[in-house]
């Protein structure tokens, strides 16, 4: 995906994209928005575009295949820095920032652009934030700082005031659906994507291009959603065979599907996925909530190393018992 595609439909992102094209990028940009609205996708693409060596015009960047892009994606680009929490830690500590500053100093004579990408910047400790602030104030030439943040209030006001703030808002499902149809995506897919992209057109487009996503959706439809009474269990179990490595994704999709169905029910509208057999569409909310609980239990079991066959069968048993109570 290019920056242009990712910015589509969002005024603040489009404005930033135009400034990038005109060479008017501010040195520090802070993306603020709820989790899942697409700010991280855009921030990563922007960082990659700044380091893309392709001869193509800026409008087509990042190209994804030049040396700069490949090294950025592999996280081996010497001029791309990603201060982040250490493994098993939740906060970004001052050491990570000091390491970044050392690295910036080391490369300062090499020329060329450098990009510092700090995702979940609110995770920086106050000491780390102060350290970053100092660097922002010094403003090294040709160095870009790109930050993303879910919780604005956790960032020092002095950091916020040093950055161009780009607020990324989630889109309504209907607007995303229209935008997708306009791009030639078939209506049924556009509808499904609009429900599951969590308000991010960029994510919807990514999902559209990801064949493995559609295969996983189909597997969920043929397994968990096809369960209706004991007789249907063997076929459903068969669909889940050899899906162990895909288990997290299948559970994610099932959870998203059920949440979207519950949401649609609460609104009384028809913003729902067509993946569900008719009986599910009429299922009582309390029963769907119990299934949702079972999905969460299955996920916990997966983390606790319970085998995929055992946990998926357990989940299908629960679904089977719930479907029995539906008066449809």
Hey, is 317 helix, strand or coil?
helix
| Structure token pair of residue 228 | 């209706």
Nearer to Zn ion, 63 or 156 (CB): 63
Nearer to Zn ion, 37 or 52 (CB): 52
| Structure token pair of residue 313 | 């069968």
Q: Are 327 and 234 in contact (CB under 8 A)?
A: no
Nearer to Zn ion, 41 or 256 (CB): 41
Nearer to Zn ion, 52 or 240 (CB): 52
* Distance of alpha carbon 112 from alpha carbon 143, whole angstroms: 9
- Nearest approach in angstroms of CB 57 to Zn ion is 12
- Nearest approach in angstroms of CB 234 to Zn ion is 49
Residues ≥6 apart with Cβ < 8 Å to 9: 171, 175, 176, 179, 201
Q: What are phi and psi of 115, to 5 degrees?
A: -130, 130
**Cα Rg, the chain, nearest whole Å:** 23
Helix (H) or strand (E) holding 170: none
- Nearest approach in angstroms of CB 170 to Zn ion is 29
Q: Are 119 and 43 in contact (CB under 8 A)?
A: yes
Q: Which residues bind Zn ion (CB under 5 A)?
A: 52, 54, 62-63, 66, 69
- Nearest approach in angstroms of CB 115 to Zn ion is 13
Nearer to Zn ion, 66 or 84 (CB): 66
- Nearest approach in angstroms of CB 67 to Zn ion is 8
């Amino acid at each position: 995906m290019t920056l242009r595609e990712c910015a589509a439909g969002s005024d603040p992102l489009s404005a930033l994209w135009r400034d990038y094209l005109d060479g008017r990028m501010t040195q520090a940009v802070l993306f603020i928005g709820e989790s899942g609205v697409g700010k991280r996708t855009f921030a990563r693409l922007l960082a990659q575009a700044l380091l893309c060596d392709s001869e193509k015009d800026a409008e087509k960047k990042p190209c994804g295949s030049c040396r700069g892009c490949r090294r950025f994606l592999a996280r081996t680009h010497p001029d791309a820095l990603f201060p982040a929490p250490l493994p098993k830690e939740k906060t970004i500590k001052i050491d990570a920032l000091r390491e970044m500053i050392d690295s910036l100093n080391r490369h300062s004579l090499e020329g060329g652009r450098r990009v510092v990408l700090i995702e979940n910047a609110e995770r920086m400790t106050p000491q780390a934030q102060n350290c970053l602030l100092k660097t922002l104030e010094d403003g090294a030439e040709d160095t870009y700082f790109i930050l993303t943040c879910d919780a604005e209030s956790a960032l020092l006001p002095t950091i916020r005031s040093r950055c161009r703030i780009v607020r990324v808002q989630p889109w309504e499902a209907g607007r995303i659906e229209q935008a997708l149809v306009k791009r030639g995506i078939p209506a049924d897919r556009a509808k499904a994507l609009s429900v599951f992209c969590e308000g991010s057109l960029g994510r919807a487009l990514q999902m559209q291009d990801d064949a493995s996503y559609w295969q996983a959706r189909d597997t969920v439809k043929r397994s968990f959603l096809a369960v209706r009474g004991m007789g249907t269990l063997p076929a459903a179990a068969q669909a889940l065979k050899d899906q162990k490595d895909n288990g997290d994704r299948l559970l994610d999709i099932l959870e998203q599907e059920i949440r979207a169905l519950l949401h649609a029910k609460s609104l009384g509208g028809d913003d729902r996925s067509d993946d569900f057999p008719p009986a599910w569409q009429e299922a009582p909310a309390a029963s769907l909530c119990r299934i949702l609980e079972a999905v969460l239990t299955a996920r916990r079991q997966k983390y606790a190393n319970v085998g995929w066959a055992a946990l998926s069968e357990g989940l299908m048993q629960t679904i089977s018992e719930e479907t029995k109570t539906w008066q449809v």
